[in-house]
Structure 1
Amino acid sequence: MRVMKWSMIALAVAAGTSQLAVASSQDESKGFIEDSKLNVKTRMLYFSRDFRNNEGGQSRREETGLGFLGTFESGFTQGTVGVGVDAIGMLGLKLDSGKGRAGTGLFPTGSDGRSQDDYSKGGGAVKFRISDTVLKVGDQFTALPVFATDDSRLLPEIAQGTLITSNEIEGLTLHAGHFTSLTAQEQTDRDSFHLKEANVVGGTYAFTDNLSTSLYYSKVEDYWRKYYANVNWALPISDKQGLVFDFNIYDTKSEGSAEYRAFDGDKLDNRAFSLSGAYNIGAHTFTLAYQKVTGDGDYGYGIDGGGTIFLANSVARSDFNAEDEKSWQARYDLNFAEYGIPGLTFMTRYVRGTDANVTGTSNGKEWERDVDIKYVLQSGPAKDLSFRVRQATYRSSDGTYYDSPSIDELRLIVEYPLSIL
């Protein structure tokens, strides 16, 4: 499920900050070295998943790891065509695990069922820029709604391929990409997902400061073709009040060998949509969301990136994306900056799904309750050091959902981003 997704508020802000530059980005290039950036993010993650009703199976998965993510982004050489390079280096270290507690997705697992003590991966890319258009070839992270790498464990996925990003027209961002492999979060194999080929095209356009839309298309060889559309509308009420509405829809249809099918063997041919509305007043944000899947099969993703599910009810544990499933969400966010504690945030939500057409029933039910507390240091030598607690309680009407109908999950996350250049 997607953890790092576009929030409605973030989309509204992004739509309102699109400006036409007097000169192009390439015209303003200072040079290969002068515009270079080197960052290192350290992440310590404790992950615990308790299967409370998993009869005959693993009752608990519990591991702790320390991850290092280093990224180097050069500037572009000066001239009509700018040239640059990017590099990614990652290292994951096992701090605590056990044969009976492995399988959290933090580390590669050996043939003996134990997690490896450490693993590393990385890559590089060359990039070219003309005016405000960038061509990037090689290893990269992606955040497209039809091809998005996931970062919900210790180290993120990496995509290998080509991506063009163009911002030549005010308010319009266009993408076109061709990808040939994906490295999973807990793997080092450059083709962990056995992706043959994925082609994507689309873009986002801000009609006004408060209204933006997106439209994307993708085709994954031997799996499916997808269409995705989004409308995001922010409606300010006053300086401290506002509404944000967000609509997302996917249309997916199997193609080729159709390796991903519905549970009954039918090919995929479905629509999945979500509609959410958020009301913000001062430090408080109240959100309601509705999501529905129609047609044949679940909404399928993964081969095209573990983050490729830009739907409102894709939350910490479940995606509520089963065939015919209907789900609704109630969410509350609190920003303590209004009360004199900047950097401290709180979130809780409840999601309930019904009418899921899964093996054994056409009325499968599930619900999830999440709590998220995060604090980011605002000043001092450890500025930007963050502490986060994420707890999820999940229940379903039978054992057809994941590994167990009853799951309690806890994640403790400490992150420290360091900017070296």
Structure 2
Amino acid sequence: MKLLIKILALNCAFFCFKSYSADKIPAINEGIYTYECDYEDSTFRVTENNFSECEAVIKNGILVYGYFPSVREGFSQYQPTSAPTCSYRDLLNDGSNYFVTCSGSFESAPLDPESTESPKRWTSEVIGKLSDRQQDSESFLCPDPNYPNGPTEYNHEMWCYELEQELDPDCPAPTDSDPFVFGTGSGQTSICFPVSDGRQCEIKTDVNGGYYVPVSFGSIEPVPCTPDPEPEPDPEPTEPPDTRPPPEDTDPTVSPDTMGALNKVNKNLDSINKNMISGYESNDERLDRLAKETQNSNELLSSIKKNTLEDNDTLTDIKTGQANTNNLLEKIEKNTAPESFSFSANRKQGGLNDIFTNEDIQQIKTEIEEKQTEFNEYIETIKSESSSLFTLDTSIAGGYQEHKIVVKGVEIETGISRFSDFFKLISGAILLVATLTALYILLGKNG
């Protein structure tokens, strides 16, 4: 039983958990409670350290709902003479319900200043109630920096939720089938699993070291966390070429004299020459930019080729591992195939087998059967001799001595006969003891 209890305790240590999951913890309450203040047509909630708000409403209601006697003729209306006061009465003696009684002193004075009549004094009381004691939802706090979200009500309790963590893009998306791995209470840390391209899936644990492992990882073991390799940066883009300057205009007009015409020709040739030079420079700049873009493309293609070769090497290693695994499985299948076998149960020669032969064993069995027959016959002989020597008769014949006396007119038996019923009860036991004694004497004598 102790072993069963220990096994259950060990299983519970690994598989049992509290009634709240790892992503939330109960919120901490500062111990502040609220009550419902109920007076006439006013109902609102106040905190336990701010009952004065309820008192103010009840005090203001004295003039409205309090009872006052009729004002006598020649006297003023009742006016307060002092500030009202309130007292509390605990109805259940547990601090959950109170009657609040507020009273104020009033008087009605004569309107005639020269009147000798005394003012009429009166004390008016009204009663309110404080009930429905509850914990103040605003007094709950989430002081744990690892569970700052909240407090939030869930299932009539206040909870603090874990800070939502940004999912590592190298990790699979969470699913409902992801198993939870309990931590060792070593605090929050990171657990890393290897993925493709030499990168790692980094998982942040909770404050107790627990975390959800993606179900797609299967039996992959965690590895020490290392920084993911940074991808090679893309080549810097080339600057766009400068805007071509507008070409210089030529003079198409006709000159009347030779010198003017030659000057226009020279000027137009100079404009054509400048426009051609500007076009060559712009084309050269664009050709240089095209050459640089081509070089960038070659670098990107080279990186793609390198990564493709690495992936191919990885796939080749996986295929080689799968082939080796298949070969091992085939060997295991061959080694575990059932082999035909036979056995014989012949007696061995030599040793005790030569001493105890089959003939000897058969002789011993015959002697045992003869002894059993002899024993049964002896028992039957004892039964027949015992029945011829005596028989048992449990019937009791005869009577007991009677001796009766009369005392004050009442006949009382004082003889042995008064014990006759008792003797009948013990007669069977006495006969049994006597019979066993006789058998012992007879059998002992014959033995």
TM-score by length of 1: 0.15
Larger Rg: 2
- Structure with the higher helix share, 1 or 2: 2
TM-score by length of 2: 0.14
- Structure with the higher strand share, 1 or 2: 1
